[in-house]
Amino acid sequence: MAIKTADLGGTDWVDGDTQTGANLNDTFGAVTIHRKQFSDATERTTTSVSFEDSGTSFTLSVPVGSIVFGFYVVMELKNGSSTGSAIANVKISGSNLGTVYLIRNPSFYSGNTPLGSGIFLNSTEDALLSTNTAGATYVKVAASGLTPLKILDASTTLTIRIAIGTDGTANMKNVAIDVLYSEVFKED
């Protein structure tokens, strides 16, 4: 079994080679955009004004050296008080990676008002998703974007972290994350 194209680090087919299923599968798999999907419907709450692990985490197991290039995160958030905002982010960690946070681009926001869209990875923790709608109703919020992350560990952990902006209770449920990545890419 081998990748059969020099563009991806393998060897090109030559006249007389037998095309095997294993070689074709390896080659086509190498040039495929992959998607990992994670979800958790469990309701989580916090009264902390500082971000804390919600109890929802996922393990991303893809080959070391893969490039993650896109994220889509959606969840339902509820602010149980009349002040503050329910806020959440994604902590990404691994033994070689360390810890980074998937957060919204602050230059695209004025307070909690979106001026555009954008997410990025940062070593400083901040909000990715938020709602300041008070009351008993959940609000579905989502963020997506293209932000590169080179996988340095055989196992990388994605942890949802939540907080309440000032006081009260932040609730979340129905979390879903899509991760887009490529295992092999061509060096130019």
Q: How many C-beta neighbours within 10 Å does residue 5 have?
A: 17
Same domain, 109 and 154: yes
CATH number at residue 72: 2.60.120
Same domain, 92 and 16: no
Same domain, 23 and 95: no
Please name the residues in contact with 15: beta carbons below 8 A apart, sequence gap of 6 or more: none
Query: Where is pLDDT greater, at 20 or 60?
Result: 60
Give the C-alpha separation, 125 to 83, whole Å.
22
Same domain, 57 and 143: yes
Mean pLDDT is lowest, of 17-21, 36-40, 97-101, 145-149, for: 17-21
187 part of a folded domain = no
Same domain, 127 and 45: yes
Domain that holds residue 160: 34-182
Helices (H), 1-96: 21-30
Mean pLDDT is lowest, of 19-23, 54-58, 143-147, for: 19-23
155 part of a folded domain = yes
Same domain, 88 and 176: yes
Same domain, 2 and 86: no
**pLDDT at residue number 32:** 72
Reference 139, options 115, 166, 112; nearest CA is: 112
Residue 126's identity, in one-letter code, is D
**pLDDT at residue number 79:** 87
Instruction: State both tokens at 27.
Output: 């080659």
**pLDDT at residue number 168:** 83
188 part of a folded domain = no
Query: Where is pLDDT greater, at 80 or 68?
Result: 68
Average pLDDT of the residues in 83-92? 88
Mean pLDDT is lowest, of 65-69, 107-111, 175-179, for: 107-111
Q: Is the pLDDT of residue 90 over 90?
A: yes
Query: Where is pLDDT greater, at 149 or 115?
Result: 149
Same domain, 82 and 156: yes
12 part of a folded domain = yes
Average pLDDT along the chain: 83
**pLDDT at residue number 135:** 74
**pLDDT at residue number 132:** 80
Q: Under the phi-then-psi rule, with left for phi > 0, alpha for psi from -120 to 50, and beta for the rest, what region is 2?
A: beta
Same domain, 15 and 40: no
Same domain, 111 and 168: yes
Instruction: Give me the number of domains the chain comprises.
Output: 2
62 part of a folded domain = yes
